[in-house]
Structure 1
């Protein structure tokens, strides 16, 4: 063999070897990436117990661990889940037939007794009373059949059973761990808890025996990244594959990216100012009206959300089927606001506090409110609280003007009952401690109706009263978003803000 040929062959062999080495490393990296996925969220979950959850951050983790009897598709239509079928015996009784062979994370099989235990627990939990209080009896017919009885006809029952708070827990695990169950959650979902470091991350490992099939990832991590700019950086650098709650300023960057994709949907979410009716200052209706007339909601849509929101003009968002667009409006009118403030007993203005959680867009909105109220003589001091502390603090009576949100399934019962029924004061949702017998009556009547047309009429009447009473002032209905790696497939972003990761996977090119 001549020298030139030898050198050529050697180069070819080494090149192939180098290519094979590179390919092997590349494949290994792809496998590692496929086996693990990271998602950025803005705050820690407050709990991993479905019957204790009232916040969206907790819900995002809970949906990984637990399954519900029924589920909602992308457009919020009901579909089977742990219950493969169901039938209504009469207006107050529904029988559910469970899938057989469904395993909990502890290896136990799901039985009707677990469903009974869960629903009775949900019907007595302060955080979930608004969803499940009408349930008076749960009867085990056999291991895979359960009957749910309500005290009266309950139009929202099936939708509520699809809510995160209806996640079916293992009776054995709850009794075994007691008060420490939150650190040892046991469900039937595709992921189970591996590690929870509050303020840093929560790690889940895939559950191979999940009835839906093992997930495509061996490990899924939620990273707590409060700052929206840092979530964006983590997404751009590949530290995370998905980021919830992307900043409006980053939308253009994502839309122009070859590697990232923005997913945005309208939702039945409400941002509002709350007037605590146990605080004597805010029992003054003219003061509440003065504040409302001083605020321009369009500014939030244009400046803070840059079009990714709709102006608020009713306690029920426009994405909800029962939305009433004919309620009393409080379009900005500075002179009228000043006049009302004087009639309220504050001709020279007053000083107030405005509470808010440490969330960028909400703080920005509060700064705008501060500026707008100053124009009528109200000096606002903004006080910002950490998310968990804020949720607890706003559940207490006699508080200052506060900024909050409410996310619902779109059903009028879930959107209005917890926020305004007098039985829901405090933690369940009615943090303004509002009471109105007529509103209670209408909400109760809508609850027992199984006629959707009648329910819609009742909820529209409720909105008329609420806008007149002004226990809260609707600010905006934000669209919800997330950004993700373009190669990530199978993610379903529902209109209620829930995420279905059942079929999540990387597209292998």
Structure 2
């Protein structure tokens, strides 16, 4: 290894050897980011959590990306594209002379490899590197064809409105085929992309380290290295930020935001985005197979008190499965279920509920989960007021995800969940369709099923007319609101805190951390 290449890693190692986990100041040109949990993987095609997305977006690129400050797509690894009149053929013209971090070439064959390993079950690396939980994003792809070295064509089965947007999402990021072949099932811990930063090391429950890509096609990053530290305890994260152990902290606890607003030397960032915090209700078995019980839960939870007292006004009360940030597709006519414990008690009595203990899964912390313990405890107390005896079971984030994503049948009656999405299609399509039940590879963990919702979601994703799509989504929201497979709790305004010497940092509506332009002074 050349001395120049060795320096960033040497600085990082010396930094931790000297200062441990808490220190008065982090080195210049090394940015330390306090994350909310340990990543599950750094293979973008296999992850689902924004916590992991924040890291991989700096290691990889996609064919498209979101424009700064929006969810509108622009060219990335593809410099341009053509779309057929019927909306089923996308031809991408790729940038030339780009290499992956391992020195292998980025080209049309690499793009084809990426999508084939996700979508073709017979691909030699499908079982080795999978499963691919968000391959739903590309279920419309019939085949990918290499036209020439820098031209690749996607043939879709039918028109699919979110296609370009999904290519900009982490699931569409392009990985090095040769690295996948080299590392196999361990690729997720040895990531290789074309992004602004190159992977250096991942020490479990301690840090993920990346260093700047000197050959980055879109300009060399300002920072020498970035360290992502998983700190699941929110109080510890705040202490680290205050003591100088972090340069940036994401998902600041609501109680602490005022501290950083008032204290000199810090900058607070807030950015609205498409987020939903909700309760999944088990409709496969138990009391929530009865719609009256599901309505009772929605009426019993004092969502306004949660938003005001626990989240300190950093969120608004949710009214449907479509986040309010999707203004064009959101049904504003649906009023959030009001807090009405008397009505909830009446519904429970009508349902003939016998009072068995209910199991409620919550997590210690995770992507978009806000204050999961406090919120879970408040919900437990609200349900106790209407006669529901709820037992809480708490898990760390990755364990929680595994349990909930596998479905609640035989395990729990309800579970917390939060999603941040890129398109109105994503959350309901992956978590409310009948064909998205866990045994079918989806995230419909509560086993909701309504044929009309299924039809509306299929129509919406096939339509290229935004007005028609909006009509379908608004009808879908009304049905889901009435069926109440979830309790809709909050839409969050994301936040972060940085030290004052961090420059050019901003939050994105995608919820990603894009660190290419960030520097320290």
Task: Give the TM-score of the pair, scaled to structure 2.
Answer: 0.88
Which among 64, 75, 79 is matched to residue 74 of structure 2?
79
Which among 83, 98, 101 is matched to residue 97 of structure 2?
101
Q: How far is the alpha carbon of 1:362 from its aligned partner?
A: 1.1
Tell me if structure 1 keeps the 8 A contact 2:300–2:386. yes
Which among 430, 446, 451 is matched to residue 418 of structure 1?
430
Q: How far is the alpha carbon of 1:218 from its aligned partner?
A: 2.0
Partner of 1:229: 235
Q: How far is the alpha carbon of 1:32 from its aligned partner?
A: 8.1
Partner of 1:10: none
Partner of 2:418: 405
Question: 1:275-294 counterparts in 2 under 5 A?
Answer: 275-294=281-300
Tell me whether 1:429 sits opposite 2:443 in the alignment. Answer: yes
| Cα deviation code 1:5-43 (max 9, x no counterpart) | xxxxxxxxxxxxxxxxxxxxxxxxxx9833311110110
Tell me if structure 1 keeps the 8 A contact 2:317–2:336. no
Partner of 2:385: 375
Which among 266, 272, 279 is matched to residue 266 of structure 1?
272
Question: 1:461-500 counterparts in 2 under 5 A?
Answer: 461-500=475-514
Alpha-carbon separation, structure 1, partners of 2:337 and 2:246: 42
Computed over aligned residues only, the root mean square deviation of the Cα atoms, in angstroms, reads 1.7
Partner of 2:303: 297
| Cα deviation code 1:172-213 (max 9, x no counterpart) | 211222112112211001212211112111111222122122
| Cα deviation code 1:109-136 (max 9, x no counterpart) | 2011111111233335541232111111
Q: Say which SS state the counterpart of residue 186 (structure 1) adopts.
A: coil
Alpha-carbon separation, structure 1, partners of 2:306 and 2:336: 17
Alpha-carbon separation, structure 2, partners of 1:279 and 1:62: 38
Q: Say which SS state the counterpart of residue 496 (structure 1) adopts.
A: coil
Q: How far is the alpha carbon of 1:328 from its aligned partner?
A: 6.2
Tell me if structure 2 keeps the 8 A contact 1:287–1:340. yes
Partner of 2:21: none
Tell me whether 1:460 sits opposite 2:456 in the alignment. Answer: no
Question: 1:186-197 counterparts in 2 under 5 A?
Answer: 186-197=192-203
Tell me whether 1:323 sits opposite 2:319 in the alignment. Answer: no
Q: How far is the alpha carbon of 1:462 from its aligned partner?
A: 0.6
Which among 340, 345, 355 is matched to residue 338 of structure 1?
345
Alpha-carbon separation, structure 2, partners of 1:487 and 1:309: 28
Q: How far is the alpha carbon of 1:329 from its aligned partner?
A: 4.2
Partner of 1:55: 49
Alpha-carbon separation, structure 1, partners of 2:95 and 2:461: 29
Q: How far is the alpha carbon of 1:418 from its aligned partner?
A: 0.8
Aligned length: 476
Which among 241, 251, 256 is matched to residue 250 of structure 1?
256
Alpha-carbon separation, structure 2, partners of 1:300 and 1:294: 12
Q: Say which SS state the counterpart of residue 28 (structure 2) adopts.
A: helix
Alpha-carbon separation, structure 1, partners of 2:428 and 2:33: 31
Q: Say which SS state the counterpart of residue 438 (structure 1) adopts.
A: helix
Q: Say which SS state the counterpart of residue 214 (structure 2) adopts.
A: coil
Tell me if structure 2 keeps the 8 A contact 1:417–1:443. yes
Alpha-carbon separation, structure 1, partners of 2:335 and 2:221: 49
